[in-house]
Chain A
Amino acid sequence: MLRYFLKRLLSLVISLAVASVVIFVAIEVVPGDPASYMLGINAQEDTIAALREDLGLNVPVFQRYLGWISGLVQGDFGTSYTYRTPVADMIGERMWVSLPLALFALTLSTLIAFPAGILAATKRGSIWDVLVMGVTQLGIAIPNFWFAMLMVLAFAINLRWFSAGGFPGWENGLFVGLKALLLPAVSLALPQASILARVMRSALLDTLDEDFIRTARAKGLTTGQTLRRHALRNAMIPVLTIIGLQFSFLLAGAIIIENVFFLPGLGRLVFQSISQRDLIVVESVVMLLVFAVVMVNFAVDLAYAAVDPRLRGRS
């Protein structure tokens, strides 16, 4: 188990190091100067030069990379070019929207997908199976931003049950916060739940065909007991993989949904910062997201080992 853990940890560190170089290079080579963006078309050359100096843009690229990385390691994300506030504070503030939104969507998606997938697999070929397969097909096909706009039209503009968007802040109470995140979370969860339900169904069908299931049944276990003790546990590996991927996607990939509902989340921060050429913010947020993805994968790897003892033994 320890060797398995250390191997995973080493691959995590290597992934992060490679990612940091790729992110930094990719973002620094994008054309466009933050200083001239900020000062606009009437600015004089000397004003732009003064601002570039002030922002530390005249330092060689390699030195800037080292400065950035050593800061990151110590938890200092640098200072935003445009906002002139610490990037860590900005990320911290946006996290209070993005993280709850991702968790909310993931919870919804799991709550829908598990029963649906299990139902479809255990009643293979029945009307339930057909129904689940049909609805999830639709769920995957519908773009989530379009579904989001439909929900805004129905629940915000016509019924007036919800705001069309925005986030009032958690200080106004848990219920108010969750209500504001409900429509975005549902629109994010719909395609995720559809994918997850299908993965659940097919993984479960695969295990249900295995010999050990027949043995378990022959031992006298009921269908329910077999499902809980043997089939589900074995079907969890692919399902966990997908959940891990989905969580990373939800954290980073909510840009469009955040725009539709004008939520002050991480996705919108990155989007804004790219157009303003606030490079340091883009670099730090993307790096943080990579870190989150890598950590989630790491956690998923460990979860594999927990549900599947064979993985522990092999390494």
Chain B
Amino acid sequence: MKHTRVSFATVVVLAMGAGLAQAAQTDITLGMQLEPPHLDPTSAAAGAIDQVLYANIFEGLTRFASDGAIIAGLAQSWYISDDGLTYTFNLHSGVKFHDGTTMDSRDVKFSLDRARAEDSANAQKALYAGITSVDALDPETVRITLAEPNGALLFNLAWGDAVIVAPESIENIKTNPVGTGPFTFSNWVQGDKIEITKNPDYWGTPAKLDKATFKFISDPTAAFAAVMAEDVDAFPGFPAPENLPQFDADPRFTVMIGSTEGETILSTNNKMPPFDNVKVRKALAHAIDRQSIIDGAMFGYGTPIGTHFAPHNPAYLDMTGNSNYDPDLARSLLAEAGFADGFSTTLKLPPPSYARRGGEIIAAQLAEVGITAEISNLEWAQWLEQVFRGKDYGLTIVSHTEPMDIGIYARPDYYFQYESAAFQGLMVDLNAATDPAKRTEIMQAAQTMISEEYVNGYLFQLAATGVANAKIVGLWANAPTQATDLTAVYWND
């Protein structure tokens, strides 16, 4: 009798053990500060759309890896002609959209033609403007022909704006996105959350999670409370860097610090006197103490930059020495330029905390060399109208989050109004170059040029700051594009 009882207890214990082993969680709740306005990554600039959908629901011919490298997506291989004008892509076979229809070369042609069409609503239309034709050679082969060589084509095709969509489901894409990715869209409660579930018929390596919920929490204090109360399992773009040390000290959480593509700069209106004088811009650069801005506005998170280029990029040059903190030099440069008594200008700040907090510090630093910066706080819509489109500003602070966007310095009508034929020439050469060594050389020349001409005040590379439950594996620490790639995420129980 006694023997039976022992074995019964053993069975119970074993059963409980088995139950625990099976209990590895397969769903995840992620906090996000901004809610997507709609669910079509190919017709809006909102990063929040890509943060939910990129790589999870939608895929492009190529894609970003977590380190920012460009790797194969729906295209398994490609061939570039010697003149750099035609790209022939070989698509994966057996790829299906979530509605069951087949993804083939005609869908690729449809998607890219739609992005570059006359009436296209694509926010990055300019990236695909150089394409002259997209031809479906056979169901698994597609050829892209360019007007002139473009070394950045594979990179441009990896953007969320170039994901492959189907003509069958395009009508309702804004509320019911149908892609080819490892997750399918299941539900959106506007103002609250978006839910996606595992795609059992995925063509590639299947996702490990069964379900993911993106919860929208805009207020930084509420975000902190939601993480602490474990209402959310992870908050990849955590909005309050001041709380991170507290999470770091708590064994329940892992803090993820990575890099982003966001060059945070003190944008300067190059056509507005006195900023049309390079000496004044140089004085500005030396009047700014980057480290105290990083410490004061970002609580130490961020990498100083001296030019408009991401430090994690292999082609990056450290040019911070060109604009070291030297208020005496700044004062004498101002005197040389005829502003011994200083001058006043406007400093228009958009909503993010890097701008609002950073702006206060910069205004104080400029005051020390005699420059009065009148701060005005703007909402994004106002900023776009006044500063970006109206060019009615002296200085502003903004983080340029588009990857590899040094090409904006070749656009004289861009809001900081830098006009240099030499720089524009460099960008023409860069687009034509496909050899990696040659491209690096040109990119470094471009970095040097804008640094030495002090086009803008270069502050720091925005850090990606995230927090997650310590048992979660596989979330991206870096943000090479605005994405929350869940394909390899799982719980390590």
Q: Are the C-beta atoms of A47 and B122 separated by less than 8 Å?
A: yes
Q: Are the C-beta atoms of A264 and B175 separated by less than 8 Å?
A: no
Contacts A39-B45, A164-B228 given; indicate if A32 touches B384 (C-beta within 8 A): yes
- Which B residues lie within 8 Å of A47 (CB)? 120-123, 125
Pick the contact of B382: A32, A54, A85, A149 (CB < 8 A): A32
CB proximity of B162 to chain A, nearest CB, Å:
13
Q: Are the C-beta atoms of B38 and A83 separated by less than 8 Å?
A: yes
**A42-85 Cβ-contact flags toward B at 8 Å (1 or 0):** 11100100110010000000000000000000000000001111
Listed A/B pairs (20) with beta-carbon separation below 8 Å: A31-B382, A32-B382, A33-B385, A36-B388, A39-B123, A40-B44, A43-B123, A84-B38, A149-B221, A152-B225, A164-B225, A165-B225, A165-B226, A166-B193, A166-B226, A166-B231, A259-B218, A262-B219, A274-B379, A276-B381
Q: Are the C-beta atoms of A264 and B191 separated by less than 8 Å?
A: yes
Q: Are the C-beta atoms of A37 and B122 separated by less than 8 Å?
A: no
A contact set with B: CB distance below 8 Å: 31-34, 36-44, 47, 50-51, 54, 82-85, 90, 93-94, 149, 152-153, 156-157, 160, 163-167, 169, 259-262, 264-265, 268-269, 272, 274-277
CB proximity of B154 to chain A, nearest CB, Å:
19
CB proximity of B70 to chain A, nearest CB, Å:
19
User: Which of A83, A94, A274 has most chain B Cβ within 10 Å?
Assistant: A83
CB proximity of A149 to chain B, nearest CB, Å:
6
- Which B residues lie within 8 Å of A165 (CB)? 217, 222, 225-226, 231
- Which A residues lie within 8 Å of B193 (CB)? 166
Q: Are the C-beta atoms of A264 and B189 separated by less than 8 Å?
A: yes
Contacts A36-B384, A47-B125 given; indicate if A157 touches B228 (C-beta within 8 A): yes
Contacts A43-B45, A94-B191, A262-B216 given; indicate if A275 touches B122 (C-beta within 8 A): no
Q: Are the C-beta atoms of B225 and A157 separated by less than 8 Å?
A: yes
CB proximity of A283 to chain B, nearest CB, Å:
15
Q: Are the C-beta atoms of A40 and B385 separated by less than 8 Å?
A: no
- Which A residues lie within 8 Å of B123 (CB)? 39-40, 42-43, 47
B343 interface residue per 8 A CB criterion: no
CB proximity of A145 to chain B, nearest CB, Å:
9
Q: Are the C-beta atoms of B192 and A167 separated by less than 8 Å?
A: yes
Q: How far is the CA of A169 from the CA of B193 in the complex (A)?
A: 11
B contact set with A: CB distance below 8 Å: 35, 37-38, 44-46, 119-126, 174-175, 189-193, 215-219, 221-222, 225-226, 228-229, 231, 351, 379-382, 384-386, 388-389, 400, 402, 415
Q: How far is the CA of A39 from the CA of B225 in the complex (A)?
A: 32
Q: Are the C-beta atoms of B38 and A82 separated by less than 8 Å?
A: yes
Q: Are the C-beta atoms of B120 and A37 separated by less than 8 Å?
A: no
- Which B residues lie within 8 Å of A33 (CB)? 381, 384-385
Q: How far is the CA of A277 from the CA of B351 in the complex (A)?
A: 15
- Which B residues lie within 8 Å of A93 (CB)? 189-191
- Which A residues lie within 8 Å of B175 (CB)? 84-85
Q: Are the C-beta atoms of B191 and A40 separated by less than 8 Å?
A: no
CB proximity of A26 to chain B, nearest CB, Å:
15
Q: Are the C-beta atoms of A157 and B381 separated by less than 8 Å?
A: no
Q: How far is the CA of A149 from the CA of B35 in the complex (A)?
A: 23
Q: How far is the CA of A120 from the CA of B122 in the complex (A)?
A: 65
Q: When A and B form their complex, which 10 residue pairs have the shortest distance between CB atoms, in order from nearest?
A: A40-B45, A32-B381, A264-B191, A82-B37, A164-B225, A164-B229, A264-B192, A156-B229, A277-B381, A259-B219
Q: How far is the CA of A167 from the CA of B231 in the complex (A)?
A: 11
Nearest A residue (CB) for B221 = A149
Q: How far is the CA of A296 from the CA of B402 in the complex (A)?
A: 49
Nearest B residue (CB) for A82 = B37
Pick the contact of B121: A42, A51, A83 (CB < 8 A): A51
Q: Are the C-beta atoms of B229 and A42 separated by less than 8 Å?
A: no
Q: Are the C-beta atoms of B126 and A31 separated by less than 8 Å?
A: no
Q: Are the C-beta atoms of B226 and A262 separated by less than 8 Å?
A: yes
CB proximity of B269 to chain A, nearest CB, Å:
15
Q: Are the C-beta atoms of A275 and B231 separated by less than 8 Å?
A: no
Q: How far is the CA of A261 from the CA of B223 in the complex (A)?
A: 9
- Which A residues lie within 8 Å of B218 (CB)? 259, 262, 268, 272
- Which A residues lie within 8 Å of B35 (CB)? 272
Nearest A residue (CB) for B227 = A164
Pick the contact of B191: A82, A269, A277 (CB < 8 A): A269
Nearest B residue (CB) for A169 = B189
Q: Are the C-beta atoms of B37 and A276 separated by less than 8 Å?
A: yes
User: Which of B46, B219, B225 has most chain A Cβ within 10 Å?
Assistant: B225
- Which A residues lie within 8 Å of B385 (CB)? 31-33, 36
Q: How far is the CA of A260 from the CA of B222 in the complex (A)?
A: 5
Pick the contact of A38: B45, B219, B231 (CB < 8 A): B45
CB proximity of B60 to chain A, nearest CB, Å:
17
Q: Are the C-beta atoms of A36 and B225 separated by less than 8 Å?
A: no
Q: Are the C-beta atoms of A39 and B380 separated by less than 8 Å?
A: no
Contacts A84-B38, A160-B229, A262-B218 given; indicate if A40 touches B381 (C-beta within 8 A): no
- Which B residues lie within 8 Å of A276 (CB)? 37, 381
Q: How far is the CA of A259 from the CA of B175 in the complex (A)?
A: 24
- Which B residues lie within 8 Å of A42 (CB)? 45, 123-124, 126, 402
Q: How far is the CA of A54 from the CA of B174 in the complex (A)?
A: 15
Given contacts A153-B225, A156-B229, A275-B380, 14 further A-B contacts (CB under 8 A): A31-B382, A33-B384, A39-B44, A42-B124, A44-B126, A47-B120, A47-B121, A83-B37, A83-B190, A156-B225, A164-B228, A164-B231, A264-B192, A272-B35
